[in-house]
Structure 1
Amino acid sequence: MRAIVTGGASGIGAAAVAELRARGARVIVFDRDVVEGDDAIRVDVTDAAGVDAAVAEAISRLGGLDVLVNNAGIGAAGTIADNSDEEWHRVYDVNVVGMVRVSRAALGALRESSSAAIVNTCSVAATAGIPQRALYSATKGAVLALTMAMAADHVGEGIRVNCVCPGTADTPWVGRLLDAADDPDAERVALNARQPMGRLVSAQEVADAIAYLATATGATGTALFVDGGMQNLRLRK
């Protein structure tokens, strides 16, 4: 298996890279904050020309491409009143259009693969209303819709497209949110309690789901929730 993982230098992306490699895949990491090397290319998914060049270079190094994991993304907090038009455009440019740029550049190579798959990192925020996450949730709702449309467009070409929808994951980004809270310990307790399993999901648990979708040859147009039950469970207190 030959794979590209965007946003692969930390958090869920890094866990996905490690898991795919453990399963025998050759993986090239795309990230803005990565040391360039044989298995890593520094790229910003908002730079169309840079994305095209990075994808072409990765395909050349790998000798083709079987799996693209679109994991690069950024967060945003607040209600609709709390972010400017510029911030809305900036977050959409990374979280949604960034996926489009990388996928578009990779399509030619994926069409030549006998086991082509795209896995997009979505979120439970795409479908569950979460306070103070209007902008972030809107982008992830777009990712969910984009995933289904891509799956329909490319199923006839043998390219499977799915997405993973994590709940709140124990990642560096969430750690930074906690650090910025007035009471980080209380905020962590609240985040744990929001998921019926009573804890944050781990990056490894999400990576396991990404690896499954990358190799589950019968799955396309699937949104796989790894959210501690947040999407569907309504527990009695």
Structure 2
Amino acid sequence: MNFRSSGTFIRDFLRYGNGLVIVSAVLYTLLFYSLAECEPDSVVLLLTGLLGFLTYSYDRMHDLSEESDIINAPQRTNWLRSHYTFMVYSCAIAVVISFIAMLLRPAAIFPIMSTIGLAFAYSLPILPNGGSLKKIPGVKTALIVVLWVILTFIVPMTVSGVPWSFPIIGGMLYESLMIASIANLNDIRDTQGDRIAGVPTIPVIFGVRTAFFFSLFTILAATMVAAILGNWVLVMLSVTSTIGLLFNSSKVLEILR
């Protein structure tokens, strides 16, 4: 494997193999430590990154044969299929390392088990009529937000023993708004496949335009939260995200005009 092909593989792993999920989970966990004004725990950082990777990898590997995934993200689906063995081994290694990390930080076990339970409950037929939680309008976005907050704030908070504070609550609210916006933008991209699969996302129920303005509103709200916290790095991140959203608005709205 030469330098160019290695670079291509790394780029594709970040885009399609959930590498960006690892990076994002670690960064949001570092945000917690910054707001809590305590030393980052390397074991917890490793744990949150790997569990984020496992959560998204399980979902995407499980749905590889689904028509909705093929329609929504053909490049990602093709990449995962062609690197299936690599992803399976990567997930297996991540499970082993995560298990060891949880033994080193037993306080993290309960909140982590709750995220695993929520992730499985999302697709299981647990409702009285035999339906699953993903058939309830808005649950998909809400669940994604809850999983991220538990993983990157509740887990490190539980392990470190840091008490609740205004900055931490503000950080959780900021992350919730940003994740909701990003998840909704992904749902806009996936509208056609979600309609086929019967997943009642915001774009499916209310239309692409309404969903777009929902994402815009949540990013602007996140910017206000960051300003109240006095964290100008987060403010700049939110402003940059807003500019990017507006810059690509025509492309977003053209998806299903």
TM-score higher than 0.5 here? no
Give the TM-score band, short-chain normalised. Answer: 0.3 to 0.5
Q: Larger Cα Rg: Structure 1 or Structure 2?
A: 2
Normalising by structure 1, we get a TM-score of: 0.33
